[in-house]
Structure 1
Amino acid sequence: MCIKFSSVIAKENERWHSDGIVYPKPTWLGEELLAKLARWCVESRQSGFKSTLSLISIMKYSKAYQALKEKYKDMVKVWPEVTDPEKFVYEDVALAAYLLILWEEERAERGEPARQSFVDLGCGNGLLVHILSSEGHPGRGIDVRRRKVWDMYGPETHLEESAITPNDKTLFPDVDWLIGNHSDELTPWIPVIAARSSYNCRFFVVPCCFFDFVGKYQRRQSKKTQYRGYLDFITEVGSTCGFHVEEDCLRIPSTKRVCLIGKSRTYPPAGEDSVDERRTRYINSRPGGPVSPPGQVPAPPPPGAADGPEGRGALDAGARHTPESPAEGLWLSGFHPREKAECVRNCAALPRDFIDRVVLQVANLLLGGKQLNMRSSQSRSAKAWNRGGSLSLAEVAGELDRDTLQRLKRECGGLRTLLRNSPQVFQVLNGRVRIRDWREERPRKEKEPEAKRRLFSETFKTRICWFFAHHPDGCVLPSDRCPFAHGPGELRPATARKKTQPL
């Protein structure tokens, strides 16, 4: 119930605040919460997930989390990335706290005083690597793309910019743990890499985006959610690789917060050769595996794999290949690591004139067909300011031409993303869009994080107010209260962001 409740709140509010705590809207609490609680109380359906922090001591975790939160809270103030610092900093603090307790308890069980070594595959911003290294665990992070924040950590945090392709050269025989935190296309490969690195190598993954060994993962069983099916698939991968796979639910500000852990093997060291043959057959049985020549029967998958979790879905273009021997020890030739240059598909790379046209068209629909692009000749009072109505995204899409819709469909999130990328003009909530009324916006908090205050001061009056330029009634706010420029005379030059210093 607790897991479901927090997940629903996160979904309704679409954003976790501060250190992973959500603050639901009063309207949602008053109008929907009681009905949902009543329904959950009579439901007999069992949750498909473990209870939170079921594999470690909650008391130890809480103490570790609070200590790390206090120690690394200043990261929020100097975060140089465009991502939300509160979410990403506190999420990595929570992950680090979990791993530190997991590893502390493992050392006690094994009677080994030395701290575990690790490699974080697909380490992203590298903060998890920085915290674990600072807490005494030798390790490094690898990612295909360098981040700005890497320069802040200092030389004691080892981060490498490199693409990872599963092959005989991508092994870590001297490493205790492999970590995959939202590691995308590497996620199903991490148990395989851990198993083949050494008998003593373990893994910890937090699956997020759904990838098979080659291409996207797609479910086939409608009785399970795609997320549950994908977790079962990664569990099956780990089990086939010879691990006892355990599942736990983390306390992190994310809806994808289930982790899978492989701490021990199901076979003795002497059985490595036979188990590796089974791994190979299983990998080849997945979509994108070798295609058998005509008349040749493919090698059977391991027991249970044929009827295992769903995921026999479509491959990426060009993923299928001939049964030629993989070059240079490549385990599956259809695998493609992500490109170093990130492909932007969040509508931000669309031409400015196209975005402006769609924004004007949608605003025109919401205002009841009033012609935009020019101010009313007569000034109106703020009371009479026309906000227009609200429309569902489906209703808005029904009014757009086919070419516009096709272009938006090639972007992640499509129309919804484009409208959310224009928060000055629109509010998008629960599948509906309406014009934003800036009189309803909360006044800025005096105790907001320094990074947010600095960003606001740097962008103040650096763009023309959309309402001043396009709305028939002009802007609802007077010039001195509007953060945007009412005409060219108020425009300020954008301030270049200063480079942050290493921690």
Structure 2
Amino acid sequence: MEVKNQYITAVTVNSFWQSINVLINKSHIVNKRCWGSTVLAKQNLKILPCNIEAILDFVKLKNGVNARSTFVHLLTDYLTVQSTKDDENKAEVEIILVELFPKNYGESHAYQMICLQKTELKVKFIDVTPREDKQNLCPTFSYSFSLINNEIVLKTPADASEKVNQWLKNTVLPQVVKWSKEIVPNKAHKFCNKSLALVSLDKYYEKYNQLKLKYGKEMVKIWPECTDPTKFVYEDVAIATYLLLLWEEQMTSQTFVDVGCGNGLLVYILTMEGHDGLGVDVRKRKIWDLYPDNIKLKEMTVTPTNIHTISHGTWIIGNHSDELTPWIPVIAARSSYKCNFFLLPCCAYNFDGTKYQRQNSSKSQYTEYLEYIQTVCQEFGFETKMDRLKIPSTKRICLIGRQRLYEEDEYDKYLDVVHEIVNEQIGLSLNGVTNNELNDFKTRDPVEKVRNCTQVDKGVCSQIIMCITNYLLEGCPLEADWYCGKKIQINDLVDLIPSNLLKALKSECGGLQTLLRNNHHIFEVQKGCVQFRFPRTIEEVKKNMINKKQGNDVKMQVKICWFYNNHPQKCPLDRSVCSFLHEKL
């Protein structure tokens, strides 16, 4: 069965092969059962075109344990049999063996052999998993993608499973085409494009699942914080896995300081795995009391220079450390020549605690900030590498400084360089600056400022709501059925609201989206569009509470119905069934 590309025309040869390369290395993007994959072996062969199908049928894995050696051995045997006949007529192909890791740790791994026929502009995927493993990660039948007349064509066998065939046709093919469209020939890849480049992928997979079972499930059950445990617990498990694999290379247990440790879970896991460390944060969390006595967590107002007086760690960790992000390499540089750092930036801050402002409109603020921090780290003398973590956060690129760009006898000289750069960044005079001045410089207060719109002047909120509703109600036909209003993109709302109101709003909360969430009885946001929320009946509210397994003690018809007082056609519901009270303000 052939399926032609219906999504884009004029795919170039270069963009075709680049998109196939993404498919091979990032199969988890289109395969939701797959956690990730790793290339076990590659082999370039010169064989007769008529023999290509024969070699694909010849190479079958006997077992998955020694897949790499078995694969290479089988190919070598085949080449020996083929000898050097008709060398001038042979075509060059590349054979790749890929191992697919399942998201469900208990399921079998799968192995795919991929044949890239460059001259034929064709790539074929063949399942070579031992049959007794009963893998469920990739099609058990062979399928191929070809570039024919500048279109990508998917070919599957006539007896292919209909469900799997539909997945290839409706999910994989459109994504391959999309990648072909997005990738410009000879253009650099995205910033830090490869995940887990500095650690072994198969070791990471094993270690992550061990820690997930050892710490993750139980921690999710007892999680006392108001944050989502399924995100925060497993994210810290993933970061701990990454650090433990980095530290394995150093062959000895490490000491560390986690600056801005938050819930302290990362400190807990790393300590329980045999590394001595300390976590410090400006505020204590509820979960701290649940950890064993050997877990060292300290509540303190962090200043850029007092952290290394607490512990001389071999690693300084900054995991979503916000205002302290640019200070992490400073702390590591000042601690000792052999001190390393791990930094996972999230919110972009300058040294003086102000928000980082983008300078280049052609880049995202996140990308530019990463480049800025990397440059600073290198100016401090660190050989700084970047890697992309596999975590649920959208901000997943980390910076790692494990080596210096200078010899140890130059350490004092580089301390002066760090000192000068820091002074310049925070606006201190280069002359007469003492450590006390930096000790007094605080990046965050112990009491967290409320930023949920509750502190905004109610008049400001009312004026902003009026600006939005006036637009949504434009052209309301009074004599027709109830008018549900227009729609508008959130980004376009900015043009409707006076700048002084926006400034007052942003100073106290996250901005418009927070205000809209706080007024969800009026507005709803779907796919980035704001519109009126149709008023809900008493029965709808009760049904929703039952579905969410909430109590049934919520009082109805207590709050005044906004639509009854503000919509030109009043509320579309009768006062007896509306969950809000129909009463004049």
Structure 1 and Structure 2 fold alike (TM over 0.5):
yes
Following the alignment from structure 1 to structure 2, what is the Cα–Cα distance between the partners of residues 467 and 386?
Answer: 20
* Partner deviation per Cα, 1:116-143 (whole Å, 9 max, x = no partner): 1211001112121122222222212100
Matches within 5 A, 1:76-475: 76-107=220-251, 112=252, 115-167=253-305, 170-171=308-309, 174-216=312-354, 217-290=356-429, 323-326=431-434, 328=436, 330-331=437-438, 335-350=441-456, 355=461, 358-359=464-465, 362-363=468-469, 365-368=471-474, 387-393=484-490, 396-400=493-497, 404-436=501-533, 457=550, 461=554, 470=563, 472-473=570-571
TM-score, length-scaled by structure 2: 0.59
Whether the 8 Å CA contact 1:145–1:340 is kept in 2: the answer is: yes
2:199 maps to amino acid: I
* Partner deviation per Cα, 1:404-436 (whole Å, 9 max, x = no partner): 444324344422321133344433245420133
Root mean square deviation of aligned Cα:
4.3
Q: Deviation at 1:486?
A: 5.5
2:69 corresponds in structure 1 to none
Shifted more, 417-426 versus 239-248: the winner is 417-426
Whether the 8 Å CA contact 1:123–1:181 is kept in 2: the answer is: yes
* Partner deviation per Cα, 1:258-304 (whole Å, 9 max, x = no partner): 1111112233332222221222233234352426xxxxxxxxxxxxx
Whether the 8 Å CA contact 1:465–1:475 is kept in 2: the answer is: no
TM-score, length-scaled by structure 1: 0.68
Following the alignment from structure 1 to structure 2, what is the Cα–Cα distance between the partners of residues 429 and 365?
Answer: 17
Q: Deviation at 1:185?
A: 1.9
Whether the 8 Å CA contact 2:280–2:300 is kept in 1: the answer is: yes
When residues 407 and 196 of structure 1 are mapped into structure 2, their CA distance, relative to the original with a 3 A threshold, is closer
Matched residue of 1:286: which SS? helix
1:159 maps to amino acid: L
Whether the 8 Å CA contact 1:126–1:159 is kept in 2: the answer is: yes
Are 2:197 and 1:54 equivalent residues in the alignment? yes
Whether the 8 Å CA contact 2:523–2:530 is kept in 1: the answer is: yes
Matched residue of 1:86: which SS? helix
When residues 327 and 284 of structure 1 are mapped into structure 2, their CA distance, relative to the original with a 3 A threshold, is closer
Whether the 8 Å CA contact 1:393–1:432 is kept in 2: the answer is: yes
When residues 194 and 41 of structure 1 are mapped into structure 2, their CA distance, relative to the original with a 3 A threshold, is closer
* Partner deviation per Cα, 1:57-89 (whole Å, 9 max, x = no partner): 111111121222233124334433332322222
Whether the 8 Å CA contact 1:139–1:158 is kept in 2: the answer is: yes
Report the identity percentage.
40
When residues 394 and 464 of structure 1 are mapped into structure 2, their CA distance, relative to the original with a 3 A threshold, is farther
User: Which among 37, 40, 48 is matched to residue 179 of structure 2?
Assistant: 37
Are 2:207 and 1:64 equivalent residues in the alignment? yes
When residues 369 and 397 of structure 1 are mapped into structure 2, their CA distance, relative to the original with a 3 A threshold, is farther
Following the alignment from structure 1 to structure 2, what is the Cα–Cα distance between the partners of residues 264 and 453?
Answer: 57
When residues 77 and 274 of structure 1 are mapped into structure 2, their CA distance, relative to the original with a 3 A threshold, is same
When residues 348 and 154 of structure 1 are mapped into structure 2, their CA distance, relative to the original with a 3 A threshold, is farther
When residues 60 and 433 of structure 1 are mapped into structure 2, their CA distance, relative to the original with a 3 A threshold, is same
Q: Deviation at 1:98?
A: 1.0
Between the two proteins, the alignment pairs up a number of residues equal to 407
Task: Select the structure with the greater relative contact order (CA < 8 A; seq sep ≥ 6).
Answer: 1
Whether the 8 Å CA contact 1:235–1:260 is kept in 2: the answer is: yes
